[in-house]
Amino acid sequence: MNTMFYVVCIVAIVLAANTVQQYLKLRHRKEDRNTLADETQAQLNALEERIRVLERIVTENKFDLREEINKL
């Protein structure tokens, strides 16, 4: 086997390893974005629920509000 064959093999191996590395990084970034989106959606849902509770408290009669506060 000549030297040129070994050089071509080494270059092919390096390029393949680089491609696999880039693919794994890209896949990891997508997973991070999905996780972040899920966390953000959960926080948004929690905030919406809190706003609903606050709206309900504000729109109730004062008597009901006093009872609710006393229950807490």
Full-model pTM: 0.46
pLDDT at 37: 82
What tens digit of pLDDT does each residue of 1-49 get? 688 888 998 999 999 999 999 998 888 887 778 787 888 888 999 999 9
Rg (CA), the chain: 30
Would you state the pLDDT for residue 61? 63
Query: Which residues 6+ apart lie within 8 Å of 60 measured at CB?
Result: 68
Residue 67 has pLDDT above 90, yes or no: no
Which pLDDT value is given to residue 63?
61
Q: Phi/psi class of residue 64: alpha, beta or left (left: φ > 0; alpha: ψ in -120 to 50)?
A: alpha
Mean pLDDT to the nearest integer, 45-70: 79
